[in-house]
Amino acid sequence: MTRTLEAAMNTAIAAASGYADVWLLSLTSSGGTTLITTAPQNVKWGADTYTAVGGAISFEPPQETSDSAAQALRMTLSGVTQTIIADLLTNHMRGYSCTLYFGQIDPGTGAVVVDPMEVFTGLLNDRWEIQESRDETARGTVTVSTTAVSQIARYLFPRGVRSNVASHNDMLARAGLAVGDTFFSRVPSLVGKNVLWGKTVTKTGATGGGAGTGDSTESGDPTTQFFD
């Protein structure tokens, strides 16, 4: 992808001192947009405030290739705050957009040099993987990681429907139907439960007998009743 450095960014990068590198990450999800930064404190860029993760963010170098669909970004967050971890693990993120920016900040004021450079933009394509390190002699740490792929990658594969809210609503949008259905958000609560789809009952009917034969009964055909 083509990237352009603004004049102020060129000046900051060329300066021997007075500026520091910063990464800004925007993650959208079913719960809104999560904005985080590698800066030691929260920073503001435009109308948005990026939250310091309280730990480290590392990225594998975005793949530079003429095939835009082959581009992907592997990201890892370690030692991050519980609030951010809760956002990442609670909300639906697969299929939502992800944008990574590289910028410069003034360490004295925390101001972000206008404008940071967009390094990668794409879709979150994988679940968040969690690794916990527990040591009785040291503080435990939590590391979460995932992968994002190019926007173009979505067109390379059959558009099946997965059992998640984002995929279901994407299918509805392609069909020109109203989106907003949350059916699949209820699926996890059904795990391990017995779901009654129907049961068979037998009807027994009485028939009158002739003189001297007495009364008799005969079974009717089994009838299947279905329940919602």
Burial grade of 124 (CB within 10 A; 0-12, 13-18, 19 or more): buried
**Does residue 226 lie in a domain region?**
no
Residue 218: inside a domain: no
User: DSSP characters for 127-183?
Assistant: PPEEEEEEETTEEEEEEEEEEEEEGGGGGGS-----SSHHHHHHHHHHTTPPP---G
Q: Is 120 left (phi over 0), alpha (psi -120 to 50) or beta?
A: beta
Residue 175, Cβ neighbours under 10 Å: how many?
A: 9
Please count the other Cβ atoms lying within 10 Å of the Cβ belonging to residue 22: 22
pLDDT at residue 215, as a whole number: 46
CB 6 within 8 A of CB 116: no
Q: Is residue 51 part of a domain?
A: yes
Predicted local confidence at residue 133, as pLDDT: 73
Q: What angle (nearest 5°) sits at the alpha carbon of residue 179, between those of residues 173 and 185?
A: 115
pLDDT of residue 27: 92
Residue 224 maps to a domain: no
Count of structural domains, the chain:
1
- Reported as a pLDDT band with limits 50, 70 and 90, residue 228 is very low
Q: Is the whole model's pTM more than 0.85, yes or no?
A: no
User: Is residue 220 helix, strand or coil?
Assistant: strand
Judge whether 172 lies within some domain: no
Q: State residue 62's pLDDT score.
A: 66
Q: Which residue has the higher pLDDT, 143 or 215?
A: 143
86 pLDDT band, cuts 50/70/90, is: confident
Residue-number span of the structural domain to which 13 is assigned: 7-157
- pLDDT the model gives residue 5: 76
Classify residue 195: in a domain, yes or no: no
Cα distance between residue 82 and residue 51, in whole Å: 13
How much is the pLDDT for 174? 80
R_g of the chain computed on alpha carbons: 29
pLDDT in tens, 93-140: 888 899 999 999 988 888 899 889 998 888 888 888 888 777 667 666
Asked if residue 114 belongs to a domain, the reply is yes
Closest by CA position to 52, among listed 14, 24, 92: 24
56-72: per-residue pLDDT in tens? 788 877 666 666 556 78
Is residue 126 domain-resident?
Answer: yes
The mean pLDDT of the chain is 78
Q: Quick check: 62 and 120 in contact, CB under 8 A?
A: yes
120: Cβ contacts below 8 Å, ≥ 6 apart = 1, 62, 71, 73, 98, 99, 100, 148
